[in-house]
Amino acid sequence: MQAQPDIIIFDGVCNLCHGAVNFVLEHDSAARFAFAPLQSNTGKKYLSKYGVTEVALDSVILIKADQCYLRSDAAIEIAKSLDAPWRLLRFSRFLPRIIRDGLYNALAKRRYSLFGTRAVCLLPSAEVNKRFIGD
């Protein structure tokens, strides 16, 4: 893993978010990303540091090079670092943000009803546990 991994903060009880984390784990062969549930102390620390309010809590949050990315901007930044062919998704940045975030927000608002929730946060296998930031 690189010295300072990019940090993905995700909703630890959301099934869609769990699927997204598993997708990144599978397609991030360079291990560029570390993960923290937003419900964890680590997640809360980063939310506070970057002034992320409750309005943005339905978003994936990426901390990269001491910058905070939300919604579609976070997804595009993540895609840029994934294995091919997934990094090609970075070209979606050419769509206007209002359209990208509109689609993102529509899905995010319905994620619990469409994909369900978990009673507990993701418990990673021992193999990927090192990629999760502990409290």
| Each residue's pLDDT tens digit, 75-102 | 999 999 999 998 878 878 888 989 998 8
Q: Taking residues 105-122, report their average pLDDT.
A: 74
Are the C-beta atoms of residues 39 and 12 closer than 8 Å to each other? yes
Q: What is the mean pLDDT of residues 111-132?
A: 72
User: pLDDT at residue 121 above 60?
Assistant: no
Cα distance between residue 133 and residue 26, in whole Å? 18
> What residue segments make up the domains of the chain, in order of their start?
6-127
Whole-number Å distance between alpha carbons of 14 and 122 = 9
**What average pLDDT score do residues 104-118 get?**
79
Q: How confident is the model at residue 19 (pLDDT cuts 50, 70, 90)?
A: confident
What's the distance, CA 10 to chain centroid? 5
Long-range contacts of the stretch 125-133 (C-beta < 8 A, 24+): 128/25, 130/1, 131/1, 131/5, 131/25, 131/31, 131/33, 131/34, 131/35, 132/34, 132/35, 132/36, 133/7, 133/34, 133/35, 133/36, 133/40, 133/42
Q: Is 131 within 8 Å of 34 (Cβ atoms)?
A: yes
More confident residue, 74 or 87: 74
Question: Given this model, what pLDDT does residue 55 score?
Answer: 62
| Percent of the chain residues past pLDDT 90, beyond the cut | 39
Per-residue pLDDT band for 1 (boundaries 50, 70, 90) equals: very low
Most confident of 1-10, 45-54, 63-72, 107-116: 63-72
Q: Higher confidence at residue 58 or residue 95?
A: 95
